[in-house]
Amino acid sequence: MGIFSLITGRPGPSGFGSASTAEQVTEGVDASNLTAIVTGGASGIGFETARVLALRKAHVVIATRNLDAANEAKQLILKDNEAARVDVLKLDLCSMKSIRAFVDNFNALNLPLNLLINNAGIMFCPFQLSQDGIESQFATNHIGHFLLTNLLLDKMKSTARTTDIEGRIVNLSSIAHLHTYENGIKFDGINDEKSYSDKRAYGQSKLANILHVKELSRRLQEDGANITVNAVHPGLIMTNLFRHSAVLMKILQLLSYILWKNVPQGAATTCYVALHPSMKGETGKYYLDCNEMAPSAYASDETLAKKLWDFSNKLVNSPPTTSN
């Protein structure tokens, strides 16, 4: 997939390209036997992902910090699709306490779990620490989803085993993973405010999303679990993720307007990887415009992926500070 394909929307080997929408790439798919969690499913491409999964008859759980926004999103989905099955649960990925409470609340619903869409994220934020004392972009975009995924894995494994339906995990990464700190992940200075760069910290968290996929995929295959895990770059979409750098992004949008997608196009790759039959058995990969793409050298480094896994486990089990 080159720059020509990006600009023209010309389809790649999958039959889809940058101009494809989430509805188009899931046309004809019956997901009525699937249950999905979509983090950050109340707005932007997360909402479009939740809407299209519900349109294809999946039971969708919107997991988000803002319950008012989530309930509004649910009503919007039901307005156009009265038969939609949508639940709403509170989840703050910046808080391990909230993540654990979410998993308890989800398990209390006694639902299966086939699809986990790790969509939520923050971008280009000023330096701040999470409730657990971890740099906020790394905490929210990577550590939060790392813990959430680990806590839901047993449920996903048992669902896949009892239903004989392949489970799928999708991590939303970004082409921004190319723009990270020296050596990829700043293991020895994750909370170093002096060397903090809001852009590189975002890139680092998006690199971590792909490395998470690489190592988790390896472990799931080793376990013989019927679950795939892949990363996607949704494309350049002007959503409220850009609230911390609106002026800069408006300028970039004017300069590169032809590369920007609308929200239905932005959700296409997530929905393709989550639902399309041709994705069966595909795991540990990175997708852009509904086609496989080679990520950066850092993102392909198996040793780095294992090191990040161990580092993340340590942070989850012994966070720098614990909020009351």
Chain-centre distance of CA 256, in angstroms? 25
CA 264-266-270 angle, to 5 degrees, is: 100
Type of residue found at 305 = A
Catalytic-role residue among 196, 286, 287, 298: 196
Q: What is the DSSP letter of 62?
A: E
Whether 229 contacts 169, CB under 8 Å:
yes
Identify each DSSP E strand in 148-293 by its residue range.
167-172, 227-233, 286-288, 291-292
CA distances from 254 to 129, 236, 247, 248, 267 (A): 33, 12, 11, 10, 22
Q: Identify whether 196 is a catalytic site residue.
A: yes
Measuring CA to CA, which residue among 77, 305, 31 is closest to residue 171? 305
Other beta carbons within 10 Å of 177: 25
Whether 138 contacts 201, CB under 8 Å:
yes
Catalytic residues: 196
